[in-house]
């Protein structure tokens, strides 16, 4: 089995990954303009203020866009084919790129489809992924 590629994690993004290890999804919010965002940054992408805080997400999201991969562009993903990479918008506003797991073959993906966060271990990281079903 090929090792999964591990991203370089900058210090300012550590709270995201530490929360994911506990199966929690966090996002950044600006205290100056109230803009919420991901991925983590050291300044707000809306107003450039550095007065930021981490907040807990509800885990609810909507599907914005997606692509289904039928070819693995890294050997570590070959046994997961086909897999869905999606742009989702969290209930709190931030958008993030993730995977949709446990697809129901009888239900087509649609824009604004409600999704729910789950967590999946990939290599030595726990990552947020999304499902059509709430966690039981």
Residue 4 lies in a domain: no
Each of the 136 residues of the chain gets a pLDDT tens digit; together they read 567 888 889 999 999 999 999 999 999 999 999 999 999 999 999 999 999 999 999 999 999 999 999 999 889 889 889 889 999 999 999 999 999 997 665 568 999 999 999 999 988 899 999 998 876 5
Tell me how far apart the alpha carbons of residues 94 and 88 are, in angstroms, rounded to a whole number. 8
Residue 6 lies in a domain: no
Residue 136 lies in a domain: no
Residue 59 lies in a domain: yes
Residue 33 lies in a domain: yes
Predicted confidence at residue 103, as pLDDT, reads: 65
> What is the count of structural domains for the chain?
1
Q: What secondary structure does DSSP assign to 48-93, as a single string?
A: ----EEEEE--SEEEEEEEEEESS-SSGGGGGG-SEEEEEEEETTS
Residue 2 lies in a domain: no
Predicted confidence at residue 110, as pLDDT, reads: 92
Instruction: Tell me the pTM.
Output: 0.89
> Can you give the CATH number for the domain in which 127 is found?
2.40.50.840
Counting Cβ atoms within 10 Å, is residue 101 exposed (0-12), middle (13-18) or buried (19+)?
A: middle
| 27 closest CA partner among 6, 3, 54 | 54
Predicted confidence at residue 134, as pLDDT, reads: 79
């Amino acid at each position: 089995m090929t090792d999964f590629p591990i991203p370089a994690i900058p210090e300012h993004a550590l709270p995201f990954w530490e929360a994911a290890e506990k199966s929690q999804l966090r996002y950044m919010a600006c205290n100056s303009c109230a803009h919420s965002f991901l991925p983590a940054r050291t300044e707000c992408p809306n107003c450039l203020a550095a007065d930021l805080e981490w907040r807990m997400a509800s885990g609810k999201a909507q599907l914005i866009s997606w692509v289904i991969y039928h070819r693995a562009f890294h050997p570590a993903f070959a046994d997961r084919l086909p897999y869905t990479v999606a742009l989702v918008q969290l209930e709190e506003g931030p958008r993030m790129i993730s995977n949709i797991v446990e697809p129901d073959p009888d239900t087509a993906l649609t824009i604004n489809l409600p999704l729910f966060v789950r967590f999946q271990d990939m290599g030595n990281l726990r990552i947020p992924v999304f499902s059509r079903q709430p966690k039981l």
